[in-house]
Structure 1
Amino acid sequence: MLTILLCATLMRVAFAATTGLGNDESYAVVTSRVLALSYFDHPPMTWWLVHLSVFLTGSEAPLVVRAPFLVFAALSTVLMYRLTARLFTPWAGVLAALMMACAPVLGVTSASWVLPDGPLIAFLLAGTLVLARVLFEPDAHPAGWLLAGLLGGLAMLSKYHGAFFFIGTFVFLLTSPDHRFWLRRAWPYAGALVALAVFAPVVVWNAQNDFVSLAFQGGRAAAARFQPWMSLVVIGGGALFLTPWIWVGLVGSGWRALRANIRAPRSWLLLCLGCGPILLFPLIAAWSPSKPFFHWAAPGYLMLFPLLGRAMARRWTYHAATRRWAFGSAAFVGVAMGAIMILSLVPTLSAIGAGPPRDPLRELAAWSDLDDQFRQLGLTPDRYPLVVSRIWHEGGKIGYALGDRWPIACIGQDCRGFRFTHMEQGREGADAVVVVSGIPRAEEIAVLASHFARLETVSTFDLRHAGALIGPATILIGHSYHRDGETGGAS
């Protein structure tokens, strides 16, 4: 187990140190500069961790802002082992931890990058570990429900997916005859109250901001048109993110647990905790107007890894294919991570030949040329107290490239958390620098110009990363900023 933990952690640290911040990460780092009770996209745990890391180190380097998430990933590996060992056997725990580390969405991206899934996974596993002791060990004190509630509340403070922990627990208590008596005792409800107290900052922030975060996430489940094939797309995408062979193992293990149902309460608990995300998000995709994200169901599959570990442990000594399957999975993820690290540090194939670049790692590129361009043009915060972007992910890239000296505001239809940093307040009438990726179209210029008395283009240049062309970028100067966007012009 120690070998798995050390190897996985070393690979994740190298991966975090060599890959640039993605769109979501840059955006989280920039918006976390303003400390708040909660944030637009998710509950605040990710933003608080980044803010604390930067405060303690004075740096926003990728490895620094990712450090808390690397720690949570190491903790999750240990917790997966402990949970599976408590429910089944220690060897099953070792194999469950190994396979989780080999699943890209859980063992690589959520374990290395600035994403809310990292702390969510750790708190879900910790909460389930406590829950397993309370439910299945006779000498456990019922006050464990309070600790389970605390950990579940921290999961909800990381991502709204944490609610499935409480839904799954309730379903288990309702369906398991040997454990239904807990519904007549006060301890589970006291644990739920602890969770609500932990989650209170999110409720307060949403109440102060017209429940915009809950509306944003809930709006993704709104009915638009029925498209049943999208459910298959989401399931297939989830399988790809987990690797198809691990996904097949997880589904097979879950199916066996379903057939055993309440006759095997330990497996049934995991199934109850995991089935919510696994079933709900493909169903939502069948009618949702929003683009589905394949990793949304990952916290559900997380709960199937102990079942997979148990199935592998039973076959390990006599089934050579199981051993090859495990070692092959580890080799695959190691090679894939190594390839991404190399491609992140050297010019990629997209830099060769004519035509626009199609670099699959383009999102990880830092816009480091932007700061140099600002210096060449003599743009300083003293003269231009505001930098404006047109969309949230560009705001993240711009703000991260320029550093915390420059306040970042957003003008557009999809600004997300930049709407609530209020960087533009008190800057009415000031001049601002506007940065747009690519060559802005006339209608985009019109939207931007409506917030200024006058807008002029001062520079168009190429952004590059590791020798590969990211694309052109345009710098404009907006004179006399108007927040309401009623008047303006362009030149």
Structure 2
Amino acid sequence: ATPDAALFATAMIALLAVERALATPVRSWASFLWWLLAGVALGGAFVAKYTAVLLPMGLVIACLVHPALRRRYAEAGPWVAGAVALALFAPVVAWNLFNNWISFRFQLGHGFNAVSRGNPVSRELEMLGAQAGLASPILFGLLTIVVWVALRDGWRTRRTAQPTDLSARRFALAVVAVVPLGFFAISAWRRPVEANWPAMIYPAAMTLLATSPLPVVQGVWWRRGAWLAAALLAVVTVQAATPILPLAPRRDPIARAHGWRALADSVAAARRDPFLDGTVDRWVAADRYQDASELAFHLPDQPTVFSLNLGGRTNHYDVWPNAWQRVRPGDGLIVAFDADAKGDSLARVVGTWFKAMRPGALVPLRRNGGTVTTRRLWLYRIAQQVPRTSPTHPEIP
């Protein structure tokens, strides 16, 4: 579950408004209203996901390098749009200000901290391959063609074009599409890029493809691309319902959605375990935010479930009321850890905070009889010295 759907919706509205603003005369009332709508939609995109900043970044670059588009800086519309977008985004900035800039710092580190997996060339190829798979190969090729043609034609006519000319507008959309790809190409030089990260290339690129007059994107290759994309979507949809591809459960991304009810049933049973007799409150936790959220949903009474995050990166569970604030002396705790050496090691760390501990059920998460992954439950009784802040993320308020 990612915020990309909300990002796509608001980004498409913003781009539609920007294109309409660029199609109207400079300093006209119609242009101002379209810019105003673009600012509102862009503010929504900022709230949805921080990568939305790449949209105005691309537009600013396009207007700086293209003489006709540069004249837009002489009207109030773009400046008002920017002010409106920033005003809508202001609560996010304020929240970060009072929370040690946690999400801004995380996103910068998540995108640019070096990771040893692979090498720069393999990561760049992996990023491009993921985009070709995401859009489907033929459509990705057509998207590449229309973006390239829009860049070429817009650049060739930059000296003679008027601010409202079609070539200037298509050039602006093409730059908006290219900037996210360039940004994440830089990121891929240092670490692997997940497939949905550069997704901001698509709103502008799809707009160019849908309106392109090129014969190649209106003929047989367009039909082939649409049929191939539809076929791939159908396969994924069927695979989500019942496995038809020869993928091992551990390698099937869809299989990660399975097995959580079994884990919740095991946790519910552990909460009634006599080992926890004599404890005050019996809390539930997991070490991963994915596990914690699934347990919170699937447990019958939907209790508060903590994510300890001892073995992974920080996330929003760290700034919600958490175990360090809520577990008090005398309480009990059930935690789901990975069933491996690292998970057992983390479980023993938690055990030092309690009077007694013991391993609980070993729970395989399955899909159609195949094991996706396995969790081990650990039971802790009589809390004694639970830290008041996260041992691994003490900088979080």
Cα 1:205–1:316 shift into 2, 3 Å? closer
Does the 8 A contact of 1:232 with 1:282 survive in 2?
no
1:443 has 2:342 as partner = no
> How far has the Cα of 1:287 moved from its partner?
2.1
State the match for 1:426 in structure 2. Answer: 326
Does the 8 A contact of 2:18 with 2:38 survive in 1?
yes
Partner deviation per Cα, 1:215-256 (whole Å, 9 max, x = no partner): 111112145787343222212222222222221111111111
Cα 1:207–1:253 shift into 2, 3 Å? same
> How far has the Cα of 1:141 moved from its partner?
4.1
C-alpha separation in 1, matches of 2:233 and 2:72: 42
Does the 8 A contact of 2:32 with 2:77 survive in 1?
yes
SS at match of 1:192: helix
Choose the corresponding residue for 1:343, options 229, 234, 243. 243
C-alpha separation in 1, matches of 2:182 and 2:107: 17
C-alpha separation in 2, matches of 1:312 and 1:134: 21
Deviates more, 1:384-393 or 1:461-470: 461-470
Cα 1:383–1:314 shift into 2, 3 Å? farther
C-alpha separation in 2, matches of 1:157 and 1:416: 17
> How far has the Cα of 1:438 moved from its partner?
2.1
C-alpha separation in 2, matches of 1:250 and 1:274: 10
The letter for the 1-side match of 2:232 is F
The letter for the 1-side match of 2:48 is S
Cα 1:378–1:176 shift into 2, 3 Å? closer
State the match for 1:221 in structure 2. Answer: 112
Equivalent residues in 2 for 1:369-380 (5 A)?
Answer: 369-377=262-270, 379=272
Partner deviation per Cα, 1:430-454 (whole Å, 9 max, x = no partner): 2111122425554223222233333
Report the aligned-residue RMSD. 3.0
> How far has the Cα of 1:120 moved from its partner?
0.4
Query: Unaligned stretches of 5+ in structure 2?
Result: 158-166, 390-397
> How far has the Cα of 1:349 moved from its partner?
7.0
C-alpha separation in 1, matches of 2:242 and 2:267: 29
SS at match of 1:422: coil
Cα 1:465–1:312 shift into 2, 3 Å? farther
Cα 1:404–1:200 shift into 2, 3 Å? farther
C-alpha separation in 1, matches of 2:328 and 2:339: 27
Equivalent residues in 2 for 1:36-75 (5 A)?
Answer: none
1:452 has 2:367 as partner = no
C-alpha separation in 2, matches of 1:209 and 1:218: 16
Does the 8 A contact of 1:234 with 1:293 survive in 2?
yes
> How far has the Cα of 1:485 moved from its partner?
7.8
State the match for 2:200 in structure 1. Answer: 299
Query: Unaligned stretches of 5+ in structure 1?
Result: 1-24, 26-114, 352-356, 487-491
Choose the corresponding residue for 1:476, options 378, 385, 388. 378
The letter for the 2-side match of 1:181 is R
State the match for 1:255 in structure 2. Answer: 148
Query: How many pairs align?
Result: 363
Normalised to the residue count of structure 1, the TM-score between the two structures is: 0.67
State the match for 2:101 in structure 1. Answer: 211
Cα 1:268–1:407 shift into 2, 3 Å? same
Partner deviation per Cα, 1:189-232 (whole Å, 9 max, x = no partner): 22211111110121011111111111111112145787343222
State the match for 2:5 in structure 1. Answer: 118
C-alpha separation in 1, matches of 2:340 and 2:80: 57
Cα 1:437–1:296 shift into 2, 3 Å? same
SS at match of 1:246: helix
Partner deviation per Cα, 1:33-74 (whole Å, 9 max, x = no partner): xxxxxxxxxxxxxxxxxxxxxxxxxxxxxxxxxxxxxxxxxx
Partner deviation per Cα, 1:244-302 (whole Å, 9 max, x = no partner): 222111111111112112431121011121111111101211124xx421221121133
Choose the corresponding residue for 1:329, options 222, 225, 229. 229
Partner deviation per Cα, 1:297-320 (whole Å, 9 max, x = no partner): 121133112222334774577x44
Does the 8 A contact of 1:462 with 1:470 survive in 2?
yes
Cα 1:403–1:118 shift into 2, 3 Å? farther
C-alpha separation in 1, matches of 2:224 and 2:213: 11
State the match for 1:13 in structure 2. Answer: none
C-alpha separation in 1, matches of 2:370 and 2:179: 42
SS at match of 2:129: helix
Does the 8 A contact of 1:254 with 1:271 survive in 2?
yes
Cα 1:417–1:321 shift into 2, 3 Å? closer
Cα 1:340–1:458 shift into 2, 3 Å? closer
> How far has the Cα of 1:458 moved from its partner?
3.1
State the match for 2:255 in structure 1. Answer: 362
Equivalent residues in 2 for 1:54-203 (5 A)?
Answer: 115-138=2-25, 140-203=30-93
SS at match of 2:376: strand
1:243 has 2:136 as partner = yes
> How far has the Cα of 1:137 moved from its partner?
2.6
> How far has the Cα of 1:350 moved from its partner?
4.7
SS at match of 1:143: helix
SS at match of 1:477: strand
C-alpha separation in 2, matches of 1:324 and 1:242: 13
The letter for the 1-side match of 2:297 is Y
C-alpha separation in 2, matches of 1:390 and 1:284: 28
State the match for 1:309 in structure 2. Answer: 210
Deviates more, 1:394-403 or 1:218-227: 218-227
C-alpha separation in 1, matches of 2:354 and 2:193: 36
Cα 1:460–1:316 shift into 2, 3 Å? closer
State the match for 1:59 in structure 2. Answer: none
Does the 8 A contact of 2:142 with 2:217 survive in 1?
no
Deviates more, 1:415-424 or 1:376-385: 376-385
Does the 8 A contact of 1:440 with 1:474 survive in 2?
no
C-alpha separation in 1, matches of 2:202 and 2:348: 46
C-alpha separation in 2, matches of 1:172 and 1:401: 49
Normalised to the residue count of structure 2, the TM-score between the two structures is: 0.81
The letter for the 2-side match of 1:186 is A
> How far has the Cα of 1:171 moved from its partner?
1.9
Percent sequence identity is: 23
The letter for the 2-side match of 1:419 is D
SS at match of 1:178: helix
